[in-house]
Structure 1
Amino acid sequence: MFRPLSVFIGMRYTRAKHRNHFLSFISIVSIIGLALGVAVMIVVLSVMNGFDHEMRTRVLGMVPHAIIESYEPISDWQSLADQVMKASKVMAVAPFTQIPGLLAYDGKVQKILLNGIEPSQESNVSIIDHCMLHGKLNDLVPGKFGIVIGDKAAVRFSVGIGDKLTFIAPEVIVTPAGMFPCMKRFTVVGIFHVGAAEIDGYLCLTNLIDLAHVHRWQSDQVQGLRLKFHSLFDAPLSALDIVKHLGESKYYAIDWTRTHGNLYQAIRMEKAVIGLLLLLIIAIAAFNIISMLVIIVNNKTSDIAILRTIGVMPRQIISIFIVEGTLIGMVGTLIGTVFGILCALNIRTTIAALERVIGYTFLNADIYFIDYVPSKVQTQDVFIVGCAALFLSFIATLYPAWRAACTQPSHALRYE
């Protein structure tokens, strides 16, 4: 098979000879360094993508993309929902009422956010229907004062289906005997698990009509509407446009960027910064290629001089060492890419097994919004990392190749 002279000689230089075992060792070290840099970058970027994905699907799957509220309780929410649904980017609408308060059981007290929902419509704007461990949303029957709690709250209170919890609202009831806190008994009819600590431990759901009763509102009055858009990034501008159409003097909007935007932006910024830092690891590995090629050039000075004397052009000499360095870069990038993808796909089970062995939890659910290490391999990231590694490997070959081309045959063969 025909091969150009530069490719033939460059490939031969990458293989060990009788007296070149040290050079072969340096080549292997360069390949390993580049492979580790590529693998680490793919794994870390996949983990950051996993956090980004979990943030979107879990936390933002439970948190509304936007809410529209009024300064007074909304009575005819159905007609308002029909007006909102006319907006082109709105996917679904559901009513809600919220009351922050305390949940008490057997001497234990926990702060919660009690969410009043319409069970038949809630699944249109959130993922809660797919996260039920016990019971279902349709068990929230009006007048029964049922409540659905997260699994972390259930463990904290040691309760299950059928147990009764006391909800204490942040308001008082004035009676002839004095002022008393507003309390209501709820029966646990469901337990859910989202995987986000702030939701599983602090969010509770009840029927919209039952919460209106606790609020001392009419049964058809609600606090506002939850909106789901086709794309969560449409929420900020679209919600403002809807409010302008409805009347800013009566309604206002709050989108997810105001409630959880800082966490989401922090994840995106961390991915960019960590990616830049890890790119330096690949750059350092590329310096190994420079060192290796410089040593080879010094070792092959007489060979280069002989090639020059038989008519090999300087540009061909440059091509020889570019081929050698690029070949090492390609091998290292390929190995690192395969290894990195395999590690990224199995990192969740690996970390979980390591946690069981050492008895330490890397992601505490009380601190982080999830309690496991997510991973999501994106083809775009793998492609960018591979191209960056190959580009840096190519750049690393230029100086040694230029230095080899500057070899003067008369000086190199003076003592031969």
Structure 2
Amino acid sequence: MNFPVSLYIALRYWRAKSADRFARLVTNLASSGIVLGVMALIIVLSVMNGLEKHQKQQVLSGIPHAVLMPQEGYLDLQAAQPSMPDFVRQAVPINSTNVILQTAQGVSAGHIIGVQKPSDDLILDYLTQQQLSELLPAGEFKILIGNRLADKLRLNIGDKVRLMITENSQYTPFGRVPTQRLFTVSDIYFSDNSEVSGYEIFANLSDIGRLMRIRPEQVQGYRLFLDDPFQITALPQFFSADKWKLEDWRSQKGEFFQAVRMEKNMMGLLISLIIIVAISNIITSLSLMVVDKQGEIAILQTQGLNKRQVRRIFILQGFLVGLVGTIIGTILGVLITLNLADIIELFGQRGIFLPTSLELGQIIVIVAFSLLLSLLSTIYPAYRAAKVEPAEALRYE
């Protein structure tokens, strides 16, 4: 197999042991630094991806990803459902509002949601349709409350609780009075998401409509559950702002996920500095080699090697250092990420849940970033090598 001359010489220089121990040390540090940087970047970003997905499942599972409502009036339940984009997994009719719960033991704020079927909310999937109909029959004003809220107000099944809607008050001779009604606790649900069980309440859809003075055949809008909660940014393209009003989970949890995303970006930036420092060592090692090999470069030029081929020798040599370091770092990073739980247990840390998620696109970007910097780092030393004049380099040989 015939190699190009530049590649053949670059391979010889790369494999040969330099007489200059310092130059050899700098080259080894450059290669090791790239391995560590690429490996650490893949591991850290995979862990951050896993944590972000885990939080997305835990935090966003108990709340609607978006609520679609008309700008004016209400929607007719008998009318055809608005056309939904493909990524909307489920659209559920909704009547919901913020309420104040009052009992003899205390007062608390909550959010009540009207439902018709267990599939209307993920929290209710433990119930059958018959069980839900028995717990929340229309016209009997019964509610399901979370265990945390029940503990806070010391409520048990069968207890009465007064619900007040401050947003829908009515005028009386004594002034504005919040709309209110007594509800009966028909059941207490338990949720893995303790935050949701502390404020979310369920009632029959028509009962909430009556409380909010909405006709039985009408609803406020639709709760939308998406395949990916982060696809909410695409919803305004399908629903005109002149006709529809959109509210999404970002109003409640947006700051939390922005903080997670910012943390991931900062961690990626900081660890990228390891790769940048390692790449700078390639410049140093190649510059030292240019000084060390001036005589050989001059001889090669007298044998017919042109300046472009000389530049290519050092570009290929530096790129080989970056390529090998990047490949080894990528392999180690993927292997460690896939076996991270077992590795953590080796250090005696048992029972620690650390989710990970490898993303191919992210790995490709890391590899491309490392190889691009490796290639750019060779430009200056290669330019210096091509400037060597044979007559000057061989004058005292």
* TM-score, normalisation: structure 2: 0.74
Is structure 2 residue 291 aligned with structure 1 residue 329? Answer: no
Residue aligned with 1:28, SS? helix
Residue aligned with 2:296, SS? helix
Which letter maps to 2:69?
I
State the partner residue of 1:115: 113
Compute the displacement of 1:35 (Å): 2.3
Paired residues of 1:167 and 1:186 also in contact (CA < 8 A): no
State the partner residue of 1:169: 164
Paired residues of 2:91 and 2:222 also in contact (CA < 8 A): yes
CA distance in 2, matches of 1:182, 1:17: 87
User: Of the candidates 91, 99, 102, which is equivalent to residue 101 of structure 1?
Assistant: 99
State the partner residue of 1:365: none
CA distance in 1, matches of 2:155, 2:342: 29
Which letter maps to 1:169?
M
Residue aligned with 2:77, SS? helix
**Structure 1 residues 215 and 158, CA gap change in structure 2 (3 angstroms):** closer
Compute the displacement of 1:29 (Å): 1.0
**Structure 1 residues 282 and 88, CA gap change in structure 2 (3 angstroms):** closer
Residue aligned with 1:19, SS? coil
CA distance in 2, matches of 1:65, 1:352: 40
- The one-character-per-residue Cα deviations of 1:302-356 (angstroms, maximum 9, x if unpaired) are 3323333333332232222112111111111112222333454566888899997
Paired residues of 2:64 and 2:223 also in contact (CA < 8 A): no
**Structure 1 residues 349 and 218, CA gap change in structure 2 (3 angstroms):** farther
Paired residues of 2:145 and 2:185 also in contact (CA < 8 A): no
Is structure 2 residue 64 aligned with structure 1 residue 63? Answer: yes
State the partner residue of 1:247: none
Residue aligned with 2:240, SS? helix
Residue aligned with 1:240, SS? coil
CA distance in 2, matches of 1:308, 1:185: 95
Paired residues of 1:294 and 1:400 also in contact (CA < 8 A): yes
User: Of the candidates 298, 306, 313, which is equivalent to residue 291 of structure 2?
Assistant: 298
CA distance in 2, matches of 1:184, 1:256: 28
CA distance in 2, matches of 1:261, 1:169: 25
Paired residues of 1:7 and 1:320 also in contact (CA < 8 A): yes
State the partner residue of 1:409: 390
**Structure 1 residues 296 and 320, CA gap change in structure 2 (3 angstroms):** same
State the partner residue of 2:302: 309
- The one-character-per-residue Cα deviations of 1:182-216 (angstroms, maximum 9, x if unpaired) are 5534143432335xx65454333333245446657
CA distance in 2, matches of 1:163, 1:102: 19
**Structure 1 residues 11 and 157, CA gap change in structure 2 (3 angstroms):** farther
CA distance in 2, matches of 1:147, 1:211: 13
Deviates more, 1:327-336 or 1:164-173: 164-173
Q: What are the equivalent positions in structure 2 for 1:71-150 lying under 5 Å apart?
A: 74=74, 77-80=76-79, 82=80, 84-86=81-83, 92-102=90-100, 110-122=108-120, 127-128=122-123, 135-136=126-127, 138=129, 139-141=131-133, 142-143=136-137, 145-147=142-144, 149=146
**Structure 1 residues 225 and 300, CA gap change in structure 2 (3 angstroms):** same
Q: What are the equivalent positions in structure 2 for 1:382-401 lying under 5 Å apart?
A: 382-401=363-382
Identity of aligned residues (%): 29
Is structure 2 residue 17 aligned with structure 1 residue 17? Answer: yes
Compute the displacement of 1:30 (Å): 0.5
**Structure 1 residues 234 and 397, CA gap change in structure 2 (3 angstroms):** closer
- The one-character-per-residue Cα deviations of 1:201-252 (angstroms, maximum 9, x if unpaired) are 43333332454466576665543332456864442232327x73xxxxxxx5
Compute the displacement of 1:53 (Å): 4.5
Residue aligned with 1:23, SS? helix
Deviates more, 1:253-262 or 1:100-109: 100-109
State the partner residue of 2:203: 206
CA distance in 1, matches of 2:23, 2:32: 14
Structure 2, unaligned runs of 5 or more: none
Which letter maps to 2:363?
V
State the partner residue of 1:285: 278
Is structure 2 residue 269 aligned with structure 1 residue 259? Answer: no
CA distance in 1, matches of 2:355, 2:38: 19
Compute the displacement of 1:290 (Å): 0.5
Residue aligned with 1:66, SS? strand
- The one-character-per-residue Cα deviations of 1:161-184 (angstroms, maximum 9, x if unpaired) are 96968464345999x9xx997553
Q: How many aligned positions are there? A: 379
Paired residues of 2:145 and 2:197 also in contact (CA < 8 A): no
Compute the displacement of 1:291 (Å): 0.9
* TM-score, normalisation: structure 1: 0.71
Paired residues of 2:156 and 2:185 also in contact (CA < 8 A): no
**Structure 1 residues 17 and 283, CA gap change in structure 2 (3 angstroms):** closer
Residue aligned with 1:136, SS? coil
CA distance in 2, matches of 1:198, 1:291: 55
CA distance in 1, matches of 2:100, 2:347: 37
Compute the displacement of 1:392 (Å): 1.1
Structure 1, unaligned runs of 5 or more: 245-251, 362-371
Paired residues of 2:161 and 2:182 also in contact (CA < 8 A): yes
Q: What are the equivalent positions in structure 2 for 1:235-246 lying under 5 Å apart?
A: 235-240=235-240, 244=243
